[in-house]
Amino acid sequence: MLDSKNPLMQPLIEGAPRLLNHLGEASLAHFEGVQQVLKDAGIPYSINPRMVRGLDYYNLTVFEWVTDRLGAQGTVCGGGRYDGLFEQIGGKPTPAIGFAMGLERLLALMQEARAAEPAAQCEVYVVHQGSAADRVAFTVAEDLRNHGLSVIQHCGGGSFKAQMKKADASGAALAVIIGEDEAEKNEASVKHLRQEREQVRVARDALAGAVTDLLFMDIENGD
């Protein structure tokens, strides 16, 4: 009854006693312990007093992992504790936990996440504007390539805003930006495209080393 999806049953379900209001001391302690573990691990969660698992060997805790990206098929996996199951089937008492996961739903989530992030065409995208900057950009792009980096140099002009959109769509990790001021001072600005980090400005003769360091820093951080 508690798992019914019938709209006419919802007022009855809502008025039913809540199991959380009738826990024994051991179950209550376990319930509070699970919450503390999730909080310490930084895992977001919500308490659903109406959650139902169909098999009667579950005890103490049941859970579901849900998403709002798959419409009505939002439950990706479900499970719980079943401390008495092994003993029921003839084994030694063994506290345990388990779950079942929908592979099709998991694959759908993976495909959705992959589609949201553009496939990387390069590591660095060179953005430039102004006659002096246009001349410098070619040399900068070639120098970065000579250092083993995958580079796309923007072609076709356009505003910095339009070029940055192209840079983001390229999947590059970094944008190297050269305007008239950078060209005049023999410098370049470097902007992270996948993370919220401060834009930096470096001398052109130090640019390849700085870009390489930033890319390796991202790899070491798992980004």
pLDDT in tens, 147-204: 999 999 999 888 999 999 999 999 999 999 999 999 999 999 999 998 888 899 999 9
CATH superfamily of domain region 124-220: Anticodon-binding domain (3.40.50.800)
Residue that is written with structure tokens 């998403």 in the block:
67
With residue 49 as reference, give the H or E element that holds it: none
Contact between residue 118 and residue 103 where contact means Cβ atoms under 8 Å apart: no
The tokens for 8 are 């006419």
Q: Specify the pTM.
A: 0.48
**E strands along the chain, which residues?**
62-66, 75-81, 97-101, 124-128, 151-153, 174-178, 187-192, 200-203
Query: For 15-69, what is each residue's pLDDT tens digit?
Result: 988 888 988 998 899 899 999 998 998 888 999 888 888 778 888 889 999 888 8
Fold match between domain 7-115 and domain 124-220 = no
Would you identify the CATH topology of the domain 7-115?
BirA Bifunctional Protein; domain 2 (3.30.930)
Phi and psi at residue 117, to the nearest 5°:
-105, 120
Contact between residue 126 and residue 153 where contact means Cβ atoms under 8 Å apart: yes
Contact between residue 143 and residue 207 where contact means Cβ atoms under 8 Å apart: yes
140/128 Cα distance (integer angstroms):
11
Query: For 65-107, what is each residue's pLDDT tens digit?
Result: 988 888 777 889 999 999 999 999 999 999 999 999 989 888 8
- With a CB cutoff of 8 Å and minimum separation 6, the contacts of 75 are 64, 65, 66, 102, 105
Q: What's 175's DSSP letter?
A: E
Residue ranges per domain, the chain?
A: 7-115, 124-220
Contact between residue 45 and residue 36 where contact means Cβ atoms under 8 Å apart: no
